[in-house]
Every structure is written in structure tokens, then in C-alpha cells.
A and B are shown apart, each in its own frame.
Chain A
Amino acid sequence: MTLFLHELKRDRVKLIVWTAVITFMLSVSIFIYPQMTSQMGEMGEMFSEMGGFSEAFNMDKINFGEFSGYFAVECGNVLGLGGGFFAALLGIAALAKEEREHTAEFLLTHPVSRTYVVAWKLAAVIAEVLILNIAVALCALLSSLAIGEKLDAKLFFNVFLGYFIMQTEIACVMFGLSAFLRGNGLGVGLGAAFALYFMNIIANLTDDAEFLRYITPFSYADGTAIVANGGIEVKYMIPGIAFALIGAAAAFVKYGRKDIRA
């Protein structure tokens, strides 16, 4: 528990900044909705008829003129991408930063096992992802109520659950990778999150790339798909959970026997 609290304390600025930025952007998107609908008129239809562009962002499957559709698209853009990056950055740094900042020697010469270190660091990463999502969900809820829009509770829960699981998967996979790294994995983390995001866009554009949906977590955590289908697509989520477990397991195995450099 000591290490868990220590990690939360170390990451607190990062967590506060990312939460504030994502919450702010999502709230702004929600607050401008009434103005947009009044001006949009038939624009909702136009948004869903922009061919490839609409397909890429699943806008052909939902009604952009309805709040649930609008919310799903904005949530996907802001929380999907922002949260995905945040999770990737947290995961990739968790173990590697100790060696990069030369603090591993200090930490690991205390009477704690490597398993203890990996377990509490992983718990801290997941907790931080959870805190971010709860804060964002609360603000989204309050912002929606403030503009007089009501979201279906089940849909709302499913959207946020999808994003939370997606971010946890990315964090776990990056965490596993982190155990193998010594230097700065920031580029790897961001690059991977970007790649996964685009895989989903490609999968939306062409049926030939359907297999990509089983690889990228953005498929089951796509707000528009969740709204359109009325829930998370479990068939895409199962491989995602498997990847997360493999990532976490890799961290325990690799870090347990890793030579720590000075």
C-alpha cells in the first residue's frame, strides 16, 4: 500500500492535468450542443452522409442531431483519444521510469519483492485511469444536466465502461512493455496509442479490415458503436481483455528476473 500511495502522489500532477483537460474539453463540447442544434437544422443528416468521413467516425450509424449521438462522437474524440494517450503514457512509464531516473536501486534494495513492486505499480496505474474516468463521467453528467439533456443511464454507463476497459487494456499492454524498457518509452507509448486509434478508423472504412477490430480496443470502446448497438460488443472486448492479461503477466515475469542497471 505504501508504494501504491507513493505512485499516486508522484503522478498527481499528471493525473490532475489530464483529467482537467479532458473534462474541460468534453464539458465545452456538451455546452455548445444547444447552440449547435439550433443552427444545425438538417446538418445532422449532412454529417451522416459524408461518405468515407462519416463511416470512419461511425457517424453514418447514429443521429448526430440527437444528443446521444452527438455525445458519443464527442466522447469518442475527447475521452477515447485523450484517455487512451493518458493510459499509454502511464503504463509505459510505470516500471521504466525507476531505471531511467535511477531510483530503481533505491526502491529495490528495500525489503520488497519484485512481485510487490509490479503489483502495486499496476494497481496504481489502473486506479489513476479509474479516477480520470470517474471524474470525466461526473462532469459529463453534470454538464448534460446543466443543458437540460438526459442520457439513457444504461447507455451512459456502457460508454464509460467501454472507455475505462479500453484504457485499462492499453495501460496493461504498455505496462508489460515497460518491464522490458530501460529508457524513455514515451514515443513507443504514444505511437502505439495512435496506431490502435487509426486501426479502428481503418476497420470502420473497409470491411476487409474487420480483423483489426479484434486487435484495437477502440473497436469495443467506440462511443458511436455503443450507442448504435445499445451496448459494448463483447466479441471485440474478449481479445482485448486477453491482451491486457498477457501484458500484466509479462510485466510480472520479466520484471521478476530483470537485471537492474545502476
Chain B
Amino acid sequence: MKAIETKGLTKFYGKARGVENVDLSVEEGEIFGFIGPNGAGKSTTIRTLLGLIGKSGGEASVLGMDIEKDKEKILREVGYLPSEAAFYGGMRVSDVLEFSAKLRKKDCREEAKRLASRLDLDLSRKVGELSLGNRKKVGIVAAMQHRPRLYILDEPTSGLDPLIQREFFDLLGERSAEGATVFLSSHVLTEIGRHCARAGILREGRLIREDSVDRLVGTGVKRVTLSGASALPELDGIKDLKVAGASASFLYSGRPDELVRALAKLEFTDMTLTDPDIEDVFMHYYAKEGE
């Protein structure tokens, strides 16, 4: 069964575009990355899947259930972490988590304690007094304490320090090993590269690629770095050009023989040709020609 499947999913806010014709397919049990810059429509897609906003067109199902007809059944199986988690100001962390558990008709106190201790979160603090990072931790515990089948996480690591980020991804790894699906939306590409097997790239409301992270990376693009170059090669298909002193670096997606011929006309002292990292892939899909 697919954990998430959308066909032509479309959402317009009045005339403003949210997402258009998104065909997404996430297998149960996988960790799926959802990449895109701010405003690409990542949150809109997620919020539509969760029934916070109504779709304008297309179809979508979560864990085999229709997002409109079976909304509550879906929400029972989902743990959602919003990008900016907000809670009821006057309440203590433990009260917020208990309220969340009660709305799910579950007793999650033990699990909440365990998660809070791993994330170094004080349950007795008032949520109104928490820093952004600590609020995020409350969101993480609320999304995980009921042990859902599907985790939908929107920019989960913003505000978390590196140690807690690692603990968080360890937790996710454990849940994934138990069979849960993780849908991780982020613009931190190293995060996606490190933790996800597959990813979808969203650009201006449209899903432009959905593939394994390995294949997204090996998409025929190379990063070329030249040291001490007298000039830049005259080539089509150069993107993300960075010049720092006598060193120039760019992404090249054309024919390799043309690259070699163009480079042969230049003088330079050193050269490296590497597979792009996920940041480079992102640029490949996003940067306009010649930039």
C-alpha cells in the first residue's frame, strides 16, 4: 500500500497558486524527502493531505484512505509536526501533551516521558516561556508519542541544535525500522541526502522530479572546479557559477566531450570533476540557465 498517493492534486487560494497537478507516490515504510524552496507549495501539499485546507482538484489518499472522506481515520494514524509549532500559551508542556493524547483517546504518558528525556525537554515548563527550539521539541513529542504509522514533518529541524537534530533523526530511524513511514519536508538538502531514500522536488507548485536520492544526484550533472583558470569555458549548460579568486566552480549538464574540447582551449593549473551533492542537484533543477 502507498503511504501517500496524489493524482493531479491542485490547490488554489482564490486565484493564487498553491500547488498544481502534483502526482506524488510515497511507499509505506520509506523515508521520503520533499524538497523545495520557501513558497514552492510544500506546506500547502501537506496541509491539504491533513485536511486543514480543502483541495481545489485532483485526488489524494493517505494510507489508502481518501483525504476527504476518511480525514479523522487518517489523522489517527498520522503524527504531524508543523513548521512553526504553536501551543496554548498558559499550559505546561505535560498538559499540552496530555491534551493531545486525550484527543487521540490514548494514554501516552510513558512514551512522552521517554521522548522528552531523549530530546532534553522539561515537561514542567510553561509552553509560553519556551524558546523556538524547545517549542519544536514539544511538537516532536506530540507527533511521536502516539506511535503513528506515518510521520509528516514540515521543516522539522529548524531551531534545533545539532545534537538534538541527531537525536531526532535517530528516533526517526528507530520508528522507520519498526515500519513507520516518514515524509520529511525540508529545504535543508543535506538532511534529505543523508536520511531519505527517495525524494520529490517541488518547484513553483509543481512536482518536477520524484526519484531515488541516488538517481536524483546522478542525473548527468557534474561539478567542475578549475584553479588558476585564465578564462571560463564557452559552453552551454553551465549553472551555479561560483568564482572565488583564481578558482571557478560550476555545474555542467551537457556532453562531456564538448566540455573537454572547451577546457582544452583554456589554461589552468588544476581541475576536479565530481558528482554533484544534493545542493548541486537542487541548483540544477532550480537555477535558471546561465546563472
Contacts and interface: CB of A to CB of B under 8 A. Distances in A.
Interface string A223-235: 0000000000000
A260 interface: yes
Interface string A1-13: 0110010001000
Interface stretch (B84-92, B194-202, B206-214, B274-282): B84-92
Interface string B81-115: 01111111110000000011011100000000000
Contacts of A150: none
Interface in B53-107: 53-54, 71-73, 75-76, 78, 80, 82-90, 99-100, 102-104
B87 A111 contact: no
Given A10-B88, A259-B52, A110 B82 contact: no
Interface residues of B, number: 30
B147 interface: no
Contacts of A102: 84, 86
A34 to B, nearest CB: 42
A2 B102 contact: yes
Contacts of A262: 43, 47, 82-84
Contacts, number: 64
Given A102-B84, A105-B52, A257-B54, A113 B71 contact: yes
B144 interface: no
Contacts of B90: 10
B40 interface: no
A110 B72 CA distance: 8
A110 B52 contact: no
B16 to A, nearest CB: 12
B119 interface: no
A259 B47 CA distance: 9
A2 B43 CA distance: 28
A6 B99 CA distance: 8
A101 B84 CA distance: 12
Interface of B: 13, 43, 47, 50-54, 71-73, 75-76, 78, 80, 82-90, 99-100, 102-104, 142
Interface of A: 2-3, 6, 10, 101-113, 257, 259-260, 262
23 contacts: A2-B102, A3-B103, A6-B88, A10-B90, A101-B86, A101-B89, A103-B86, A105-B47, A105-B86, A106-B85, A106-B86, A106-B100, A106-B142, A107-B103, A109-B75, A109-B82, A111-B73, A112-B103, A113-B71, A113-B72, A257-B54, A259-B13, A260-B53
Give me the 6 closest cross-chain CB pairs, A-B, nearest first. Answer: A102-B86, A110-B103, A259-B53, A111-B75, A111-B76, A2-B102
